[in-house]
């Protein structure tokens, strides 16, 4: 009986040891992702980026232009049938948001998450932006084995998650929770697919978004890198 108990104990210890060896750390998951899309050296050479996307919605053709510049500036403009319906601009500390329902400026904790997630290749800069990342564990996403990471801003005011393919290392899903102008919680899920190479870096060419506004499938039409974007493009008044 004692031998049986000892045997079971040894098996349990070995199983836990094997599980620990096969489950990566959060840092290892991010490192694999960075390597999968082009490597740290290639990504660190990108100082500004302009991404043009398109979609179809209830208002017809939708064009989305996102600009990013290091260290932490960004902007996004959405046009529907030639009319601007939304604009976001972040100068590194504040985020101005404007659209058909009015405008507002976010500061402090409210702007922290948007700034951290809109930085060029944000995973490279989480540490300097005070973002803490932990491994949640394995999770199935569309029948794919993934590792789920949870990210939290330095003050703990916002949390979001990413899922990375366990085999390829590529990011396959992000889930973010924010607040509407009325203060209501809003969850947005982004699913990334169809990765293709642009100047030695892989980008997902198809992004499917599910939010309270409804589903939207966005296609990346082109990505322009290091075109000399000016700081004046990201002014928040």
142-174 pLDDT, tens per residue? 999 999 999 999 888 889 999 999 999 999 999
| Structural domains in the chain (count) | 1
Region 68-90 average pLDDT:
94
Instruction: Say yes or no to pLDDT of 71 above 60.
Output: yes
Could you list the residue range(s) of the whole structural domain that residue 66 is in?
Answer: 28-228
Does 174 map to a domain? Answer: yes
* Residue 231 scores a pLDDT above 80: yes
Query: Using the 8-state DSSP alphabet, how is residue 36 labeled?
Result: H
DSSP designation for 23: S
**pLDDT value at residue 100:** 78
Q: Supply the pLDDT for residue 4.
A: 45
Instruction: Judge whether residue 52 has pLDDT over 70.
Output: yes
Residue 110: its pLDDT value, please? 82
pTM of the model: 0.85
User: Is the predicted pLDDT of residue 19 greater than 70, yes or no?
Assistant: no
Q: Considering just the CA atoms, what is the radius of gyration of the chain in Å?
A: 20
pLDDT exceeds cutoff 70 at 15: no
Q: Is there a contact between 130 and 113 (Cβ–Cβ < 8 Å)?
A: no
Residue 169: which CATH number?
2.50.20.10
Distance CA 210, CA 214 (A): 6
Q: How is residue 236 annotated by DSSP?
A: -
Is 124 a member of any domain?
A: yes
The predicted model gives 92-111 an average pLDDT of 89
Average pLDDT of 106-120? 91
Q: In this predicted structure, what is the pLDDT of residue 56?
A: 87
Asked whether residue 20 is domain-assigned, the answer is no
Whole-angstrom Cα distance, residue 10 to residue 15? 9
Evaluate if residue 67 carries a pLDDT over 90: yes
Residue 146 in domain: yes
Mean pLDDT of the chain: 88
Burial of 27-40, coded b for 16+ CB within 10 Å and e otherwise, reads eebbebbbebbbee
88 occurs within a structural domain: yes
Higher-scoring residue by pLDDT: 101, 27: 27
Mean pLDDT of 41-62: 92
């Amino acid at each position: 009986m004692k031998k049986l108990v000892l045997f079971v104990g040894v098996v349990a210890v070995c199983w836990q040891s094997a599980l620990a060896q096969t489950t990566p750390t959060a840092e290892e998951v991010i490192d694999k992702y960075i390597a999968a899309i082009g490597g740290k050296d290639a990504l660190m050479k990108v100082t500004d980026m302009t991404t043009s996307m398109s979609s179809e919605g209830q208002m017809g053709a939708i064009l989305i232009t996102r600009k990013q510049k290091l260290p932490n500036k960004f902007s996004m403009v959405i046009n529907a049938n030639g009319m601007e319906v939304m604009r976001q601009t972040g100068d590194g500390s504040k985020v101005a948001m404007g659209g058909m329902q009015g405008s507002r400026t976010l500061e402090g904790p409210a702007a922290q998450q948007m700034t951290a997630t809109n930085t060029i290749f944000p995973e490279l800069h989480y540490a300097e932006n005070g973002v803490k990342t932990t491994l949640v564990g394995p999770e199935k996403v569309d029948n794919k084995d993934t590792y789920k990471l949870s990210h939290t801003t330095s003050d703990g005011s916002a949390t979001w998650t990413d899922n990375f393919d366990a085999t390829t290392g590529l990011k396959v899903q992000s889930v973010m929770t924010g607040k509407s102008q009325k203060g209501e919680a809003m969850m947005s899920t982004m699913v990334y697919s169809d990765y293709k190479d642009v100047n030695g870096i892989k980008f997902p060419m198809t992004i499917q978004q599910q939010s309270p506004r409804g589903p939207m499938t966005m296609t990346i039409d082109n990505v322009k890198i290091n075109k000399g974007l000016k700081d004046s493009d990201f002014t928040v008044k």
